[in-house]
Amino acid sequence: MDVVLVGLPGSGKSAVGRRLAHRHGAQFVDLDDTIEKTAGKAIAEIFATDGEAAFRDLEREAVAGLGPADPGPNIRTVVATGGGAVVDPRNRWALYRGRVAAWLDVRPEVLAQRLRRSPNVRPLIAGRDPMGAIRDLARDRERFYSAAHRQNGVAELATIVERIDELVGRLARQPEPAVLLRGHSLGGDVVIGEGIAATAIADALRGLRARRAILVSEPGSWAATGEAIAAALADDGWPVERILLPQGESAKRLAVIEDAAGQLARLRTERGEPLIAIGGGALGDAAGFLAASWLRGVPFIQVPTTLVAQIDSSIGGKTGVDLAEGKNLVGAFHPPAAVVIDVALLGSLPERQRRAALGEAVKMAALGDDALFALLEAEGEAIVRGDATAFESGAVAELVERAAWAKVVVVDGDEKEQGLADGRIALNLGHSLGHAVEAAGGFGDLLHGEAVAHGLRAAVRIGRELGVTPDDRAARIERLLTELGLATERLPYPLETVLGALAADKKHADGVLRWVLPTAHGSVIRSDVPVDVVERAAASLLVAPGSAVTP
């Protein structure tokens, strides 16, 4: 078994690691030493001459160079990581799975004192007030460190080593699935990991002092994931109740909510008892609305089982149902108490679902997330195909984490859609015409993400005409959509129908359509897009009148 030590600069990873390795006759690997050997120069020098990005590349190589984790019960290797190694999702994928990851938690005040006395040069702190710098790093990285097992790092070396020994012993007897991220947000605590669904639900239930697990799901997600989660919770001693809503969009109806509320009444569900939503976006929207309205609101836990739900709909607290008159017309903001994102649940998802979800991911990338952009360009096609390597390499986990956290950041800045230019409204990129083509197809033809991909192409074209989207940015976004097989065919809808749907949307928004348009590195909001520019962009998505429907 390998032990990985993570924590802020100065938290004692090297000292603890050396002592622990010595005690077990294990190999000690200091990743910073490995990097210095490979580069032939000191870390401070790498930062100074080649920059942080070059250092991070070397760090990623060094982590990959550790090879597969040792599964045996004895400690064979102890790895001390650089403080920032865990920021990269791929590094955590390699370090936290199959290894015992321990976080040496030391308060910033103590660290600042230690660093003032230390002869080592720490590039991210040098030249800054150590206290301020450490506090910033602690805030930015807490979600990565706290996914590892927390150890109090302010104790005698021997005590810390002793406690890590106990931790290793416990995990050798009773292995736990890998948590990759544990973050807080206004929209609830977010935990991401592989195989974590049942254990993370149980943690959340304990946090909410629940006495049983009331699962709300639908037949598709239940067969693919829910049944196994229910069995694991029951094995863990939880009394389990189950309420099944209809599959797909038909869960989002008031009649379904009424029926489910009747079931909650018969189960004598009390104020404060949490509901657990296991399913895709439609199930989550409906179950969330049920939780928002049952007894005027009970806590709920989102367990998203589709890619759309993991990167988008489970985060932010929007819940609701549809009416015959339109989608999502009745609903409530009801942020979940916890969002449990288990990437292992995605294995059974059909290809079309994965591809469509990437429509939203490309949108997030186009809003200015360069790392997400690069990931989609390099590995998006493998993710769509569902290649085993896309899961095993951590590409899927990285995609989910980057896109989900990008949504957390936006939502936390603008919880109730205040309309700030850089707030939640930016998430509507691609949605104006996207929604219009979705409506033109009667909401049955296109999946939501597919429609967003069409809308994104339209936004890019409008942005170019207005001189807002530079040519190279426009080409890069459209090329990525094409590579992922998104919006590659023109749609067979009449232009008037699409423009009619756009006008109907406008009525809901005070008669003003605010277009989110891509810029070189982000987006702008424009309410002054001329009608003819919109018409040309819409027409460019559609089969020209009189021509055959061909690719």
Ligand X SMILES: NC(=O)c1ccc[n+]([C@@H]2O[C@H](COP(=O)([O-])OP(=O)(O)OC[C@H]3O[C@@H](n4cnc5c(N)ncnc54)[C@H](O)[C@@H]3O)[C@@H](O)[C@H]2O)c1
Provide the binding-site residues for ligand X, judged by CB under 6 A: 218, 220-221, 224-225, 247-249, 252, 279-283, 285, 305-306, 308-309, 312-313, 316, 318, 328, 345, 348-349, 353, 448
Report the nearest approach of ligand X to the CB of residue 429 (Å): 13
Q: Which SS3 state, helix, strand or coil, does residue 8 take?
A: coil
User: What is the smallest separation between the CB atom of 309 and ligand X, expressed in angstroms?
Assistant: 5
Identity (one letter) of the amino acid at 152? N
Q: Which is nearer to ligand X, 194 or 312 (CB)?
A: 312
Helices (H), 386-430: 388-392, 395-413
424, 120 Cβ separation under 8 angstroms: no
Pick 9 or 441: Cβ nearer ligand X: 441
Residue 283 beta carbon to ligand X: minimum distance, rounded to whole angstroms: 5
Please identify, using beta-carbon distances, which residue of 98 and 248 lies nearer to ligand X.
248
Nearer to ligand X, 75 or 400 (CB): 400
Closest approach of Cβ 440 to ligand X, in Å? 17
CB 187 to ligand X: min, Å = 10
Check if the beta carbon of residue 6 is closer than 8 Å to that of residue 17. no
Q: Which is nearer to ligand X, 248 or 522 (CB)?
A: 248
Q: E strands, 99-158, where?
A: 100-105, 149-152
| Residue number with CB closer to ligand X (206 or 416) | 416
Please name which of 405, 201, 199 lies closest in space to residue 302, comparing C-alpha atoms: 201
- Smallest distance from the beta carbon of 468 to ligand X, in angstroms? 25
Residue 298 CB, shortest distance to ligand X, in Å, is 18
Minimum separation from the CB atom of position 328 to ligand X (A): 6
**Quick one: which of 224, 289, 240, 282 has its CA closest to 260?**
289
User: Which is nearer to ligand X, 229 or 534 (by Cβ)?
Assistant: 229
At 79, give phi and psi (nearest 5°). Answer: -115, 125
List 80's β-bridge partners, or say none: 5, 30
**Angle 89-96/52-64 helices, nearest 10 degrees?**
20
| Of residues 56 and 327, the one with the C-beta less far from ligand X | 327
What does the alpha-carbon distance between residue 2 and residue 74 come to, in Å, rounded to a whole number?
A: 8
Q: In this complex, which beta carbon is closest to ligand X, that of residue 30 or of residue 414?
A: 414
Which tokens belong to 248?
Answer: 């797909």
Amino acid at 334: H
CB of 409 vs ligand X, minimal distance in Å: 15
- Give the shortest CB-197-to-ligand X separation in angstroms: 11
Q: Which of 105, 39, 35, 36 is nearest to 66 (CA)?
A: 35
Cα three-residue angle 176-177-181, rounded to 5 degrees: 120
With CA atoms as reference, report the closest residue to 400 among 69, 68, 92, 101. 92
Q: Would you say 183 or 280 has its CB closer to ligand X?
A: 280
> CA-to-CA distance for 11 and 15, rounded, in angstroms?
9
- Which residue number, 316 or 430, has a Cβ lying nearer to ligand X? 316
Between 12 and 279, CB nearer to ligand X: 279
Tokens coding 185: 């947000």
The answer to whether residues 519 and 531 touch, using CB atoms and an 8 Å cutoff, is no
DSSP-derived 3-state class of residue 327: strand
- DSSP per-residue letters across 43-112: HHHHHHHH-HHHHHHHHHHHHHTT-SPP-SSS--EEEEPPTTGGGSHHHHHHHHSSSEEEEEE--HHHHH
| CB of residue 383 to ligand X, shortest distance in Å | 15
User: Least distance in Å: CB of 239 to ligand X?
Assistant: 25
Long-range contacts of 452-455 (CB under 8 A, 24+ apart): 452/359, 452/360, 452/363, 453/356, 453/359, 453/362, 453/481, 453/486, 453/487, 454/430, 454/487, 454/491, 454/541, 455/430, 455/431
Which tokens in the block code for residue 27?
């190999």
Could you give the angle at which helices 448-465 and 531-541 cross, rounded to 10 degrees?
130
305 or 432: CB nearest ligand X: 305
CB of 250 to ligand X, least distance (A): 9
